[in-house]
Chains A and B, each alone.
Chain A
Amino acid sequence: MAEVKVVAEIKTDWPTNTTRPDCAVIALEHVTREYAGHGSTVRALDDATFSIVAGEWVAITGPSGSGKSTLVNMLGCLDRPTRGELKIDNVDVASMSATELDRFRADKIGFIFQQFHLIPYLSAVENVMLAQYFHSMTDENEAKAALERVGLGHRTGHLPSELSGGEQQRVCIARALINNPPILLADEPTGNLDAANQTIVADLLKDLHRNGHTIVMVTHDPEMAAMAQRRIALSHGKVFCHPVGGPMVTLKR
């Protein structure tokens, strides 16, 4: 791996963990993720140690290839560390079987995607009910209430193609919230929206945060990152954690 030169000063006394570990809803201890390549091993995440407490809003930033996707996959229980300990809601996911991980993901993580990923042939309420179906059992009234909560009570029967981008993202947020997961994992939640819809979705995330939801958000947008309490910068698999209001670190090879 190429040597990383830090051109901006990084305060080494910045804490990697700004909160008490016993309150952490997500805790990484020396987590490394390696992938076997053609005769070599690629280290996508290198000895990451940090934690996120319940109710915290954290932005994960970094250039392409920095390890953001690998980190998000592991936080979303779609992947497991090669080494180290990853605890979500005080449970070590590294030791879980694939089936246990599926169940755990349904219980603990609500995904918000950049591309919304709504099933095109299901109505807004049915898309929300899909998450209920894979979690436990469907409840249409509950799904409608979730849509009302994101301001789409009047659009429950519409297909995704009949909704604007902002509305689709709000359906996606309602779907992420329907099973009351302790963690919302948002991957570029406003990356595909115009300015007006960006504001609507950002306000919605602020509301969710105010109501106590833990939000882990991957973003390239400095404005969105600035809304978070804390930023975690990634570069070449290395994690740099910043307190609220801390400077963005520019790293280059």
Chain B
Amino acid sequence: MFLRLLWESFARQRRRKLLAGIAILLGTTAVTAMLALATTIGDRIHKELAVYGANIVIYPKAEQLAVKVGGIDLKPTTGGAYLKESDLPKLKSIFWGNNITGVSPQLETKLSLTSDARTTDYEAVGLWFDHPLGQGVTGAAQLHPWWKLNGAWPTSPEQVVVGAGIARKLHLTPGSTIQVESGVASEPEARTIQTMTITGIVSSGDTTEDRFLLPLATAQRLANRPNAISRIEVSAQTKPEDTFARMDPDALPPKQREIWYCRPYANSIAYQIREAIPGAAAEQVRRVEQSEGTVLARISGLMWLISAAALLAAGFAVSAAMATAILERRGEIGLMRSLGASKTSIALLFYAETGILSLFSGTLGYLLGSTLAAWLGARIFSDPAIHTTALAQLTTGHVFNLVLLPIVVATALIVAIAGSTPSIRTALKMDPSTILRADA
């Protein structure tokens, strides 16, 4: 009988139920889309902001020590201290290792070019280009996406990319060769001349244009510093910085320190890097990190506001639809009460209707919202990789995050119950005898 009453309620009040269902559907679609975007937006914004460079820089610890005599900084560029290239895989072994999406080690050196028996020194930097690390490949090209390359990145130790400034000065083009002198300056007989090929010309808008970009191994060989690196740039997915993030972990109580340590703040990741790599000093690059945090906080706030507004509107719409539906059925309510139905059993009937409606509309809203999120992701974020991924998700149907389904359905239930409760309470307060006589 209960199911019969439920079924008839939907069959006979199709329009009212449809209106309430559409209200819930729209609300849950908005919430799903916002939640789906919110769960991926950090990743996406990080990728978008990755064009502004690394957010963590690692130096040799000695580099931080000021060597000043009479107010003049006498500290050499590298401070005489280096990090070890062989320590780099440790970056992926830290607690938040999977959040490290890009690593670019570098070693500054000099490149001695010989031409017509003359030797001229140029600034050079040894870099990773497409170097394997962990599960993927990384390097300077990934961390400096704004660099414009005419040609190709080096793929062998004898290849080199030249900055646009030097290329103009020396009339170098991709395919040109240069004679590079290597060896120890104090032992001229040991010096050798090596021919290297220019594979590309890079425009960066900074001092890189006045440098040669070599494979790191080549730079280490030319500098006679095997395994040495002077600086590492790291791009990591981080949680926006807050007051807690800025605290000194070593001054925190153990429990608080553990919480701080297990949150992907740039500071926590830098701290873990310092722990993992001996002699390393890691710092967050605040400009990019803060932009990311600010953008994330503002977008999240906006999303929650839209979701709350959509849910509130849905609640009011459900309330209006249920009020009319219940008013139409007050004769039935009066009759049921006179037949001995308790207020609870009548409320259960109406809440069951609301529940079924929420379940159906919430699930549909989840499907629509997930699709909308994937579509919005493809439209809002300009990164071709993200765009392609989102479109691929749309076509393959891999846009549904099942974790969101119970959350969305529960939200739909809460909104529908909250929306229909005032009407149900009013209906139950009505005097059955009055209803029956008024209905006569």
Partners in one complex: yes
Binding site for B on A (CB under 8 A): 69, 72-73, 76, 78-79, 98-99, 102-103, 105-107, 109, 111, 113-115, 117, 119, 121-122, 126, 129-135, 138, 175
Give the complex CA separation of A135 and B430 in angstroms. Answer: 21
- In contact, B437 and A130 (Cβ under 8 angstroms): no
A117 engages B342 (CB within 8 Å):
no
B348 CB to nearest A CB, Å = 12
Q: Which residues of B contact A98 (CB under 8 A)?
A: 343
Question: Which residues of the partner chain B approach A113 to less than 8 Å between Cβ atoms?
Answer: 436, 440
Interface hit among B114-122, B273-281, B313-321, B327-335: B327-335
- Report if A78-B337 is in contact (Cβ < 8 Å); known contacts: A102-B343, A117-B331: yes
Question: Is B156 engaged at the interface, CB distance under 8 Å to the other chain?
Answer: no
Q: How many Å from the CB of B367 to the closest CB on chain A?
A: 32
- Chain A residues within 8 Å of B437, by CB: 69
| Contacting residues, chain B, for A138 (C-beta < 8 A) | 1
Residue of B nearest to A108 (CB): B340
Within 8 A of A (CB), among B384-440: 431-433, 436-437, 439-440
What residues of chain A lie closer than 8 Å to B287, measured between beta carbons? none
Selected from A78, A115, A175, the residue in CB contact (under 8 A) with B431 is: A78
- CA A109 to CA B338, docked complex, whole Å: 9
Interface 1/0 per residue, B299-339 and A, CB below 8 Å = 00000000000000000000000000000000110111111
Contact in complex: A135, B340 (CB < 8 Å): yes
- Residues of B120-134 at the interface with A, using a CB-CB cut-off of 8 Å, are none
Given contact pairs A78-B431, A133-B1, A99 touches B436 in the complex (Cβ within 8 A): no
Which B residues between 1 and 53 are near A, CB-CB below 8 angstroms?
Answer: 1-2, 4, 8, 11-12
Residues of B within 8 A of A111 (CB): 338-339
* A175 CA / B432 CA spacing, docked (Å): 17
Complex alpha-carbon distance, A98 and B431, angstroms: 12
Contact A76 B342 (CB under 8 A): no
- Secondary structure class of chain A's binding surface, majority of residues: helix
Q: A102-B343, A119-B335, A134-B340 are in contact. List 6 more A-B contacts (CB 8 A).
A: A78-B431, A79-B433, A102-B337, A105-B338, A115-B439, A121-B12
The answer to whether A130 touches B436, judged by C-beta atoms less than 8 angstroms apart, is: no
Nearest CB in chain A to that of B336: its residue: A134
- Which B residue's beta carbon lies closest to that of A127? B335
Given A69-B433, A78-B431, A107:B338 Cβ within 8 A:
no
Residues of chain A with a CB closer than 8 A to B342's CB: 99, 102-103
* Interchain CB contact under 8 A, B440 and A115: yes
B341 contacts A by Cβ under 8 Å: yes
- The binding surface of chain B is classed by DSSP as helix
A7 and B338 CA atoms in complex are apart in Å by 38
B326 to chain A, nearest CB (A): 15
Q: List 15 A-B contacts (CB under 8 A).
A: A76-B338, A78-B337, A102-B341, A102-B343, A103-B342, A109-B340, A114-B440, A115-B440, A117-B331, A117-B335, A129-B1, A130-B336, A131-B339, A132-B1, A133-B2
* 10 tightest Cβ-Cβ pairs between the two chains A and B: A106-B340, A133-B1, A115-B440, A134-B341, A102-B342, A134-B339, A117-B335, A105-B340, A73-B433, A121-B8
A127 vs chain B, min Cβ distance (A): 9
Nearest CB in chain B: distance from A91 CB, A: 15
Query: In the complex, what residue of chain B is closest to A115 when comparing beta carbons?
Result: B440
- A73-B12 Cα distance, complex, nearest whole Å: 31
User: Which residues of the other chain, B, contact A105 by a CB distance below 8 angstroms?
Assistant: 338, 340
A99 to B431, CA, bound (A): 15
Q: CA–CA, A115 to B335, complex, Å?
A: 11
CB closest residue in chain B, given A113? B436
Contact of B340 among A73, A107, A117, A119 (CB under 8 A): A107
- Nearest-CB residue, chain A, relative to B2: A133
- With a cutoff of 8 Å between Cβ atoms, the chain B residues found around residue A107 in the complex are 340
In the complex, which residues of chain A have a beta carbon less than 8 angstroms from the beta carbon of B338? 76, 78, 105, 111, 117
Q: How far apart sit A119 and B431, CA to CA, in the bound complex (Å)?
A: 18
Question: Which residue of chain B is the closest to A117 with respect to CB atoms?
Answer: B335
- The docked-state distance in angstroms from the alpha carbon of A34 to that of B10 is 41
Most buried by B among A103, A117, A138: A117
A76 CA / B335 CA spacing, docked (Å): 12
Does B345 make an interface contact (CB < 8 A)?
yes
A69 to B434, CA, bound (A): 9
Query: Hey, which chain B residues are within 8 Å of A103, CB to CB?
Result: 340, 342
A69 to B12, CA, bound (A): 32
Contact B339 A126 (CB under 8 A): no
Question: Do A78 and B340 have beta carbons less than 8 Å apart?
Answer: no
Q: Which residues of A contact B432 (CB under 8 A)?
A: 78
Residue of B nearest to A192 (CB): B440
